[in-house]
Amino acid sequence: MTTGRPRAVVLLSGGMDSTTTAAIALAEGYEVHALSIRYGQRHATELEAARRVAERLGISRQVVIDLDLRAFGGSALTADQPVPKDTPLARIGAEIPATYVPARNTIFLALALGWAEALGARDIFIGANALDYSGYPDCRPEFIAAFAHMANLGTRAGVAGEGFRIHTPLIALTKREIVLRGLALGVDFGLTSTCYDPGPDGAACGRCEACVLRRKGFEEAGVDDPTRYAAGAAPA
Q: Is residue 234 part of a domain?
A: no
Q: Is residue 229 part of a domain?
A: no
Q: Is residue 179 part of a domain?
A: yes
**How far apart are the C-alpha atoms of 120 and 56, rounded to whole Å?**
25
Q: Is residue 44 part of a domain?
A: yes
CATH number of 110's domain: 3.40.50.620
Residue 173 has, within 13 A of its CA and on its CB side, a CA count of 20
pLDDT in tens, 115-139: 999 999 999 999 999 988 889 999 9
pLDDT in tens, 23-76: 999 999 999 999 999 999 998 899 999 999 999 999 989 999 999 999 999 999
Look at residue 84 and tell me whether its pLDDT is greater than 80. Answer: yes
pLDDT of residue 75: 97
Q: How far is it between the farthest Cα atoms of the chain?
A: 57
pLDDT of residue 4: 84
pTM: 0.95
**How far apart are the C-alpha atoms of 80 and 95, rounded to whole Å?**
21
Q: Is residue 91 part of a domain?
A: yes
Confidence of residue 236 (pLDDT cuts 50, 70, 90): very low
pLDDT of residue 133: 87
- Amino acid, single-letter form, for residue 12: L
**How far apart are the C-alpha atoms of 209 and 24, rounded to whole Å?**
25
| pLDDT more than 70, % of the chain | 97
* Interval 95-121 mean pLDDT: 97
Number of domains in the chain: 1
Domain carrying residue 106? 7-221
Q: Is residue 227 part of a domain?
A: no
pLDDT of residue 46: 93
pLDDT of residue 231: 80
Look at residue 235 and tell me whether its pLDDT is greater than 60. Answer: no
- Please enumerate in sequence order all residues whose Cβ is within 8 A of that of 160, keeping only pairs 6 or more positions apart, or say none: none
pLDDT of residue 194: 95
Look at residue 234 and tell me whether its pLDDT is greater than 70. Answer: no
- Please enumerate in sequence order all residues whose Cβ is within 8 A of that of 116, keeping only pairs 6 or more positions apart, or say none: 7, 8, 9, 122, 123, 124, 164
Q: Is residue 45 part of a domain?
A: yes
Q: Is residue 228 part of a domain?
A: no
Look at residue 2 and tell me whether its pLDDT is greater than 70. Answer: no
